Amino acid sequence: MAKATEVAKKIRKVLKEQFPGTKFSVRTDQYSMGASIIIKWTNFPTEQTVDKVVRPYEQVSRDPITGDILSGGNLHISAVNKWTSELREEIEKEMPHHIKRSDLEYYRYFRETSEKVYERYRERIEAPTNRGQVMKDPEGAVTIRQKMALHRATGLNTTEWELTKAQAGQLISKHKKGQDITPDLEKMGLILPKKQPKTNETARRMPPTSHKKKKRARHSIPH
């Protein structure tokens, strides 16, 4: 398992690239049975959005049958944001009026509504720069967004993958069309190819041995 401090550095970098306008606090906590990384920030992005970015860095061993978390050597990651009173009230205005903070369903409604508000916020910020934009520097390094898209497509840890923007774009496009991208990943060396059963060349080339005994030639006995 990679050290928590090393993983924390990678998380700080990816958060800075993904959310340049947000100040994050990334702290590590080491203990005898493992470690944890706690990420904190104020307001947007939402916890769900940040969790999707940092979850691939988590290293947790699970029982292959029950799925229960096994103790020892795990690295847990938690993402927790804090809302200012102004933004919280703005989000609450869009929630059903009968929902109060004391209600059991408050947090579910608040989480769902905050996601909708955040999506509108992102559209206002990103739409003017992305509209009609052609991919810049297609031979440049793959972006964080592309790595996240590939992670969702494959379920694999894509944080260390090295490929270009163009290559990542082609893989994502193929996946969206329902095509299998496993052969492409193998050719690029991003995943190990499946082992093929070895064939016995000698046995294949040699003709099958006949188990029938050759008939002995009968010799005539001279009289």
Q: Are 171 and 185 in contact (CB under 8 A)?
A: yes
Residue whose tokens read 């059903």:
96
**How do residues 103-134 score in pLDDT, each as one tens digit?**
999 999 999 999 999 988 877 655 444 444 55
Taken in order of first residue, the domains within the chain and their CATH numbers are: 1-82 (3.30.300), 84-132 (no CATH), 134-186 (no CATH)
Tell me how far apart the alpha carbons of residues 134 and 136 are, in angstroms, rounded to a whole number. Answer: 6
Residue 27 or 125, more confident:
27
Tell me how far apart the alpha carbons of residues 182 and 223 are, in angstroms, rounded to a whole number. Answer: 80
Residue 132 or 57, more confident:
57
Helix (H, G, I), strand (E, B), or coil: what is residue 26?
strand
Q: Span 190-217, mean pLDDT?
A: 59
Helix (H, G, I), strand (E, B), or coil: what is residue 34?
strand
Cis peptide before 45 (omega within 30 of 0): yes
